[in-house]
Homo-oligomer: A and B are copies of this chain.
């Protein structure tokens, strides 16, 4: 009987559900270095002590740290949690977008100073044009929510496909400039692939309208801190909201924190902040554990290695 080491915060009920649905495995909560399977997050150093490791199921969609050279032995299977965070990330992004459009972050700052001040005109939600970079699970879910509110949605995908119903316009990565040039907001869900590292330069932001806002919930290496600083200092666009940063946690001494037109959230868009996210992860684990036992191909398999 193979041993599954679960390194994630599960309730008693969730443990029960997992165990009942996977009778062919032994489950250990906490670390057990004899385990053949790990579900959850462990420091790389710890992970390397699992000498029998056959398969790692991560809690996150991003797997940069695991595909790096020398982290996982050859032959160790890697599956990610893509799809698990769909709703929480999409909903966080929707809330951040509306907050910034309605200047609620500015009113919050005023409140702290006991200042009752009209901060002027805001934009109409139903008249917004929003570009989403990355139309995976999260991007397409977000697109549907935005469209439900009457927002014009432009999608950007790596490869051209037939335009899905949930976007009004569709472009490929090569047409990025066209897709971001005349919109009220650009939302990035781009992963941390090598091709995306440093993709957004000051010049990229100059291609947006000065009243545009940029929201990043993909990966923090999309643009470096200096670029963010310049864009904010020179007010090249109206504002930035970022849940991810080149260096996380964002260092306390970073000058970024103090920008009124930057909204900082601490990589909290995903991270199992919705109860339903952990339930979805358990669904995925149950499905994959049973597939593994039966020798069937796993879902969310990552074949990429550096």
Contact = CB atoms under 8 A, between A and B. Distances in A.
Contacts of A101: 95
Contacts of A148: 148-149
Contacts of A271: 118
Contact of A249 (B91, B96, B116): B116
Interface residues of A, number: 53
Contacts of A252: 114-116
Interface in A111-127: 111-112, 114-127
Interface in A251-297: 252-254, 257, 263-266, 268, 271, 273-276
A108 B110 contact: no
A303 B234 CA distance: 54
Contact of A276 (B109, B114, B124): B124
A48 interface: no
22 contacts: A87-B126, A88-B122, A91-B125, A91-B126, A95-B95, A95-B125, A96-B102, A99-B99, A107-B268, A109-B112, A110-B264, A110-B266, A112-B112, A112-B257, A115-B252, A116-B248, A120-B273, A122-B274, A124-B274, A127-B276, A148-B148, A148-B149
Given A95-B99, A107-B263, A121-B274, 10 more contacts: A92-B122, A95-B101, A108-B109, A108-B263, A109-B112, A110-B266, A115-B252, A118-B266, A145-B149, A148-B148
Interface of A: 87-88, 91-92, 94-96, 98-99, 101-102, 104-105, 107-112, 114-127, 145, 148-149, 248-250, 252-254, 257, 263-266, 268, 271, 273-276
